[in-house]
Chains A and B, each alone.
Chain A
Amino acid sequence: MSAHNHDHGHDAHEHHHKDTFITKYIFSIDHKMISKQYLITGIIMGIIGVGMSMLFRMQLAWPEESFKIFSFFLGERMAPGGVMNNETYLALVTIHGTIMVFFVLTAGLSGTFSNLLIPLQIGARDMASGFLNMVSYWLFFLSSVVMVISLFVESGPASAGWTIYPPLSALPQAMSGSGTGMTLWLVSMAIFIASSLLGSLNYIVTVINLRTKGMSMTRLPLTVWAFFITAIIGVISFPVLLSAALMLIMDRSFGTSFFLSDIYIAGEVLHYQGGSPVLFEHLFWFLGHPEVYIVLLPALGITSEIIATNSRKPIFGYRAMIMSIIAIAFLSTIVWGHHMFISGMNPFLGSVFTFTTLLIAIPSAVKAFNYITTLWKGNLQLNPAMLFSIGLVSTFITGGLTGIILGDSTLDINVHDTYFVVAHFHLVMGISALYGMFAGIYHWFPRMFGRMLNKNLGYVHFWVTAVCAYGVFFPMHFIGMAGLPRRYYTNTNFPLFDDLQNVNVIITTFALVGGAFQLVFLWNFFHSIFYGKKSVQNPWKSNTLEWTAPVEHMHGNWPGDLPEVHRWPYDYSKPGHDDDFVPQNVPMKPGEEVLHH
């Protein structure tokens, strides 16, 4: 964008500086550029994370074969002669989990869309602090770099599972991945958490302080509500993980005993005394469970917005949606113990956590039913973004329902840490959040790049992904209920599980096809940035403020005054209006009534 746009700025952004390549594309403080930086970094990390899952799925389906592709990607050291070794397998699942949960679905999803949409949808010129926003992105970038570097250290990357339970993660004697690789993992996560906290604080302050005239909290789009509450959960829970990580670093490097006690390993007794790994589990899951919602709520917010816009209908139960976001956020901080029913903690706590956990099903059910009701008697515009949103509701229901089993301590005894868990959380948070991210990209791509994504490629992308996602994770429930533990490099040592092998082959086939078809998306994405059809200002005929800003990006978002808000964001197909949408900045007609509450 050129300098002339600055002439129209009416606030702090008025200063006349010339954008150089570096200030515009690299150390930018413009939220729109930062959001693109988050997205592209997230996509690159996503390619690494998904790629890893393809490799270990091949290992699980054909454990007795050797693949040249293994040594091609992993090198001769980790996969000698095309045979993946057992530590490499654990390294792959660990880094896959870490990258997907934190780098793709936390930073990539929340970072991208909170940054893009909060200022644009509340009618602000930028984030409260553009500088902190920039620092936040570059810390995220740095943590990604450290994580990627950790893949190349001699002793291998962290391999103790993404939950890095000590003592396994604390003792290099316990596995080689717990050496330098683990140190880098912890350093990377510490930087990541700093980035996430700066980002979250910025989002919270921006939403509270910078809403434009008329934008009361009950006129906020549900996207902004979701990002806002997500940021609050992040600020509450991420510091706890940071402290756990720091204590683990102390145990590893400075001889403290926070998490370690009575250990005999490698032929000697270690000095640790009095600590408890169970403490680490508590601290980890105090973040770990809210993290599920840090990942999921933004996706649900995006879905709410897209389903309403493309149904040409108000979202059903706006206030109930807000209440359920808040209820989910609150409950999410008091359910972490359901990951620990059989950790050795007092079984009475198990009862308490079963109770709080199953309560979450109520606001979740409300959300699901509200989405379905929003579709009812709509005029559905089945754009790729809409398909991914409907897909999200579908996987959210399928995956959420099995939570009723896992949240029940009695049933968890036998399915804990089996593939049943893997199937459950991949559907309810992995696939659902990924669908939310895709939906967001298809919907706001024109807003980000001023061009349209190719819809036919989008349709192909969605339908193949949808079929493959169910193909992968639906049968997986059954091998979990058969008792197959997760994180087994191969189950050939258990004749008991021999009859699960053909299921594994089916799962892997779906995974490979689904993974390959993400290339369609990547091509569409990168090609359309440069060659896509030019977008009009409001392609989806949406009500929210971001579509009232000019297609060309500019500092300060709007030339001239900030838009003023006169109504809630969901006046779609409102009786008394000719168009089936009424943007938020359109004043109420004389005598027009508010038809929602």
Chain B
Amino acid sequence: MTTFLILTVVVLLAVALWQLTKIFDLTQVGGGNVNDTQIANDNDNKVNGYLMFAFLGFIYLTTILCLLNYSDLPLIGDAASEHGPQVDNLMVISLVLIFIVQTITQALLHYFAFKYRGRQGQKALYFADNNKLEFIWSIIPAIVLAGLILYGLYAWTNIMFVDEKDEQDAIVIELYAQQFKWEARYAGADNVLGKANVRYIEGVNNLGVDLSDPNAQDDFTAPELHIPKGKRVVFKMRSQDVLHSAYMPHFRAQMNCVPGMVTSFSFVPTMTTAEMREKPAMIAKVSNINAIRAKKSEKLVADGQTALDPYTFDYLLLCNKICGASHYNMQMKIVVDTPEEYAAWLKENSAKTIVQAVKTAAEEAKASETPAATSKDTSSTAGKDTTVVAQAEPKH
């Protein structure tokens, strides 16, 4: 199929090229001033002038087609965080502004290229400068941009500089990045994360938590991120190896994870996973995706392979800073719970503290060491999987 497609494209290309050259050649005939100097004559100006005008149509058409077909793709509206609508508003304002300026300037540019196409004997207007005009088009962008800058800075300050009071009642969660997976560390009952450094990494303590720190005693980790609706969450981010970026698109949140320092970002989730799934736009998106997947599955099954699972929406944390071979698959599920669900989840998970896990592992190691002293490496396996360079997904 693909080979056929490529062949078709190549053939079409050749035909198009041949036709185009022919059209341009034909325009040379009967143009009055036939020449082969390779300098544009009146006919070239005419043909290309009209093409310029047509190209304006093409730009508009591309814009309209994209808006018609893809306007449901952008993450605008239905933001799942408190500050999200602010970001979306500014985005919409900027997009509308851009759209207006784009429409007008492209029209002027291409229309002038068409309207003033060269003709023999026509003389151009000697118009070298005009202070008034230049002043106008320096000052208008300046004013418009001043507005955008002010709104932007206002929003930025709101998002990045959180009141201390708000921060005090916030839930603190560490997002820990490594090639190529995420882990979340919860601060436990005291809501203070224990100290940590990669130099403490050993065995099951794969986040390098300082086990002697009193604040670390109740810390526990989870492979999937649970956060409650309506409460501010402060993410403290760390990376153990290279730069990663914690990107949570539905919450309009992103921050790099930098080895050697702790970065942070905070937001208030406003929509549980269940609520987001019920949004009409999301239902439409998911059913569209499932239609695509069903179609793909048909082909897969015909080829004797297993069908794709149907898709249900989940919030995601993606890595958005190139971090190595399997960068494309570094993700973690985010679940926004109702406060009650969150409390239940906490209850279920908070007992499995890191300190406890280390103790259990040590005991197990001791127990297995007594009969045979060969299994020395059990304690060093935890970090090992990070070294394996993930292979390409098998293709069909």
Q: Are B324 and A168 in contact (CB under 8 A)?
A: yes
Residue contacts A-B, CB under 8 angstroms, 13 given: A67-B2, A85-B392, A316-B128, A342-B255, A358-B152, A375-B109, A379-B122, A414-B75, A417-B321, A463-B51, A478-B74, A512-B9, A520-B17
Contact with A along B129-147 (1 / 0, CB 8 A): 1100110011001100100
Of A267, A453, A466, the residue contacting B384 (CB under 8 A) is A267
User: Taking the nearest CB of chain B, how far is it from the CB of A416, in angstroms?
Assistant: 6
Give bound CA distance, A498 to B328, whole Å.
14
For the complex with contacts A278-B261, A499-B288, 9 further pairs of A-B residues with Cβ separation under 8 Å are A84-B392, A87-B325, A265-B386, A276-B261, A380-B49, A418-B320, A474-B63, A478-B71, A498-B289
User: Taking the nearest CB of chain A, how far is it from the CB of B387, in angstroms?
Assistant: 4
Q: Does B347 contact A (CB under 8 A)?
A: no
What B residues does A129 contact at CB under 8 A? none
What A residues does B126 contact at CB under 8 A? 313-314, 572-575, 595
What B residues does A362 contact at CB under 8 A? 138, 141-142, 145
- Near B by CB (< 8 A), chain A positions 408-463 give 408-411, 413-414, 416-418, 452-457, 459-460, 463
Q: Are A175 and B389 in contact (CB under 8 A)?
A: yes
Give bound CA distance, A488 to B247, whole Å.
14
Q: Are A368 and B105 in contact (CB under 8 A)?
A: yes
Q: Does A500 contact B (CB under 8 A)?
A: yes
Give bound CA distance, A368 to B20, whole Å.
31
Q: How many residues of A contact B (CB 8 A)?
A: 154
What B residues does A267 contact at CB under 8 A? 380, 383-384, 386-387
Q: Does A559 contact B (CB under 8 A)?
A: no
Task: Check A485/B25 contact, CB under 8 A, given A372-B105, A411-B94, A513-B9.
Answer: no
Category for how many chain B residues contact A? 35 or more
User: Taking the nearest CB of chain B, how far is it from the CB of A589, in angstroms?
Assistant: 15
Q: Are A580 and B331 in contact (CB under 8 A)?
A: no
Q: Does A381 contact B (CB under 8 A)?
A: yes
Give bound CA distance, A346 to B24, whole Å.
58
Task: Check A344/B255 contact, CB under 8 A, given A313-B127, A488-B327.
Answer: yes
Query: What is the chain A residue whose CB lies nearest that of B199?
Result: A269
What A residues does B118 contact at CB under 8 A? 312, 378-382
Q: Does A112 contact B (CB under 8 A)?
A: no
Q: Does A383 contact B (CB under 8 A)?
A: yes
Give bound CA distance, A393 to B249, whole Å.
33
User: Taking the nearest CB of chain B, how far is it from the CB of A447, in angstroms?
Assistant: 14
Q: Are A482 and B75 in contact (CB under 8 A)?
A: yes
Q: Does B208 contact A (CB under 8 A)?
A: yes
Q: Are A86 and B325 in contact (CB under 8 A)?
A: yes
Q: With a 10 A CB-CB cut-off, give which of B179, B197, B240, B259 has the most chain A CB atoms.
A: B259
What B residues does A372 contact at CB under 8 A? 105, 108-109, 112
User: Taking the nearest CB of chain B, how far is it from the CB of A461, in angstroms?
Assistant: 10
What A residues does B75 contact at CB under 8 A? 414, 481-483
- Near A by CB (< 8 A), chain B positions 143-165 give 145, 148-149, 152-153, 155-157, 159-161
What A residues does B159 contact at CB under 8 A? 410, 413
What B residues does A142 contact at CB under 8 A? none
What B residues does A570 contact at CB under 8 A? 128
Query: What is the chain A residue whose CB lies nearest that of B2?
Result: A65
Q: With a 10 A CB-CB cut-off, give which of B58, B70, B71 has the most chain A CB atoms.
A: B70
Task: Check A414/B254 contact, CB under 8 A, given A173-B387, A393-B109, A459-B24.
Answer: yes
